[in-house]
């Protein structure tokens, strides 16, 4: 399988974003530490223990849209919307943290993966629109 011949740059970006999002669901999303005199206590929670389940499902949706749907306006729309929802979930979790809690690497990677999927959907839609316009001008 020749990846360059089978997938466009936008599709590869979408798949990469989905991969990062999927991996991020299993990484720490929240870390918290408390110092009580000579004792330091820290804890972390992975994404899969909360809203990471949603982002993991959306990563699967992105992969399915790239592989199963034609990379047309329907497929690019699905990828862009899924990426946007991932970004909203990730940023929402970051902004909701309070007190001793701080975002973990998983949250940052979730937002990054969502941005990649959103950008891929927009790029693919723009390319698809340009191709359609060029095809009708002939």
- Structure confidence by residue, pLDDT tens digits, 97-138: 988 889 999 999 999 999 999 999 999 988 766 655 555 443
C-alpha 60/C-alpha 78 separation (Å) is 12
Dist. CA 8–CA 21, nearest whole Å: 20
| Residue 131 backbone dihedrals phi, psi, to 5 degrees | -65, -40
Q: What digits encode the pLDDT tens for the residues 63-105?
A: 999 998 878 888 999 999 999 999 999 999 999 998 888 999 9
Q: How far is CA 74 from CA 47, 56, 65, 78, 130, in A?
A: 29, 21, 9, 6, 15
- CA of 105: how far to CAs of 20, 23, 28, 65, 90, in Å? 11, 11, 6, 27, 11
pLDDT reported for residue 40: 79
Percent of all residues in the chain with a pLDDT value above 90, rounded to a whole number:
65
pTM: 0.84
Say if CB 121 and CB 8 are below 8 A apart. Answer: no
Calculate the alpha carbon distances from 126 to 71, 123, 132 in Å. Answer: 11, 5, 10
Mean pLDDT of 14-43: 90
């Amino acid at each position: 399988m020749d990846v360059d011949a089978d997938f466009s740059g936008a599709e590869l970006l979408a798949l990469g974003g989905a991969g990062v999002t999927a991996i991020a669901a299993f990484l720490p999303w929240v870390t918290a530490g408390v110092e009580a005199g000579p004792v330091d206590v820290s804890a972390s929670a992975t994404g899969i223990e909360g809203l990471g389940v949603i982002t993991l499902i959306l990563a699967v949706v992105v992969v399915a849209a790239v592989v199963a749907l034609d990379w047309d306006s329907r497929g690019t729309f699905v990828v862009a919307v899924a990426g946007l929802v991932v970004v909203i979930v990730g940023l929402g979790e970051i902004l909701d943290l309070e007190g001793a809690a701080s975002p973990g690497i998983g949250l940052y990677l979730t937002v990054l993966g969502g941005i990649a999927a959103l950008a891929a959907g927009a790029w693919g839609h723009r390319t698809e629109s340009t191709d359609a316009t060029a095809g009708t001008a002939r």
